[in-house]
Amino acid sequence: MKTYKIRPIGDSDIPLAYNIFSTNRALPWSIESFTQSVNSGVCLVAEIEGQLQGYILCSVIFETAEVLDISVQKNVQNLGIGSALMNAVIECFQSKKIEKLILEVDEFNAAAIGLYEKYDFRTIDIRKNYYQDSAGNCSNALVMCLSL
C-alpha cells in the first residue's frame, strides 16, 4: 500500500488541485474562483511519492467551518486519502476552537455520504435542485453538519 502525506497547499499546487477538481466535476468553477477560495480559506493536500493526489478546501466564518470541496484523483480513490484529509481538517479546526463543520453533498453521492456519516455528520437540511449536471438534470444537496 502506498503511503501519503497531508500538508497545507502551496501556490505551485493550485493548478494541480484545480485539475483534480475540474476532472471530477460536470460543471467546475473557474480557475479564478477556485484560486480565490484556496487563498481565502484552509486547504490541505494529499500527496503520494511527491505527486498531489487530492485536497480538501474549506472556508471559515467565525466559529463555523464549511467544506467547500474534497476531491481525490480517481485512480487512487478508496485508499483512505479522503479519510486522511477529513481527519487532518477536523484536527486543525478543533485546535482553532471551531465549533461546527458543515458541507453540502449531492444526494446521489453515496461514497461521499458514507465518508461523512463515518465522522458523524448529520443531515440538517435539503437544498432542492441545488446541483445540475452538464445535461441539465438537477439533484438535491444534503446539508450536513458535524459538531466539533
**pLDDT for 61-89, tens place per residue?**
999 999 999 999 999 988 899 999 999 99
Predicted pLDDT of residue 135: 87
3-state secondary structure of 6: strand
Could you report the per-residue pLDDT of 18-32, keeping only the tens digit for each? 999 999 887 788 999
Give the pLDDT score at 123: 98
Residue 1 in this model has a pLDDT that exceeds 60: no
- Contact between residue 54 and residue 76 where contact means Cβ atoms under 8 Å apart: yes
**Domains in the chain, ordered, with CATH?**
4-147 (3.40.630.30)
pLDDT averaged over every residue in the chain: 94
